[in-house]
Amino acid sequence: MTEFPHSNPPLGADHAQRPGTHWTEDDFSNYMIGLEVAPAVMRHLDICAACSAEARNFQLSIESFNDVTLEWSENRPYARALVPETKPSFGGWLPSAAWAVAAAVVFSVGLPMALQHRNASVEDRPANVQPDTQVASLADENSAAAIDRDNKLMMAVAFELDRADPQPVGFGEITASKEHKRLTEPGNP
């Protein structure tokens, strides 16, 4: 092969006719890269066995590399599970529809039940007693005065029951006894 400096000018129109000169590095790389080369450069390839063989050797080496490495990469195990498996999709509307149906069931069943329970609670409560006054009444019933009053009432009832009453009294004859009056008068123990 003929040695020539790399600083040689690019191949001109008459380069193909000049024996002993070969492609420059730029000519070679431009040809291999696929860039546009002068027609004279292409003509030189036809008449110069050395440059032609070198170009062919370069191309064959690249082809061998490509074939061998592609075969290698194709034989690598194929990892299928790249993304998590997803359930079959029924479209974006199905989850929304399911939630809507669930909400409708809750409202249609739960709401009447809640209203019925509320009405029953209201019916059980004494009509003339407000909820907030019930607690106050219970507190009054447990006071000392209320217990004393109840005791007196019970004693009066017991007294009336113990008293002998041979004849049923008439409706207009019922009068409070002296003892009852005494016991129920304020200030008596």
Give the nearest distance from C-beta 88 to other proteins in angstroms.
Answer: 15
Could you write out the three-class secondary structure of the chain?
CCCCCCCCCCCCCCHHHCCCCCCCHHHHHHHHHCCCCCHHHHHHHHHCHHHHHHHHHHHHHHHHHHHHHHHHHHCCCCCCCCCCCCCCCCCCHHHHHHHHHHHHHHHHHHHHHHHHHHHHHHHHCCCCCCHHHHHHHHHHHCCHHHHHHHHHHHHHHHHHHHCCCCCCCCCCCCCCCHHHHHHHCCCCC
Q: How many CB atoms lie within 10 A of CB 44?
A: 22
Judged by CB, which is closer to other proteins: 16, or 23?
23
Contact status: 90 vs other proteins (CB under 8 A): no
When binding is defined by CB under 8 A, the residue of 32, 105, 153, 158 that contacts other proteins is 32
Among 1, 127, 164, 174, binds other proteins (CB under 8 A): 1
Determine contact, residues 37/30, Cβ cutoff 8 Å. Answer: yes
Q: Min. distance of Cβ 107 from other proteins in angstroms?
A: 37
Binding footprint of other proteins, residue count (CB under 8 A): 38
49 binds other proteins (CB under 8 A): no
Q: Smallest distance from the beta carbon of 37 to other proteins, in angstroms? A: 13
- Angle at the Cα of 135 from the Cα atoms of 132 and 137, rounded to 5 degrees: 105
Among the candidate windows 30-38, 93-101, 112-120, 164-172, which touches other proteins by CB under 8 A? 30-38
Q: How far is the CB of 34 from other proteins (least distance, A)?
A: 8
Among 12, 13, 46, 58, binds other proteins (CB under 8 A): 58
Among 13, 17, 57, 105, binds other proteins (CB under 8 A): 57
Among 79, 127, 145, 161, binds other proteins (CB under 8 A): 79
Contact residues toward other proteins (CB under 8 A) are 1-4, 22, 25-26, 28-30, 32-35, 54, 57-58, 60-62, 64-76, 78-80, 82-83
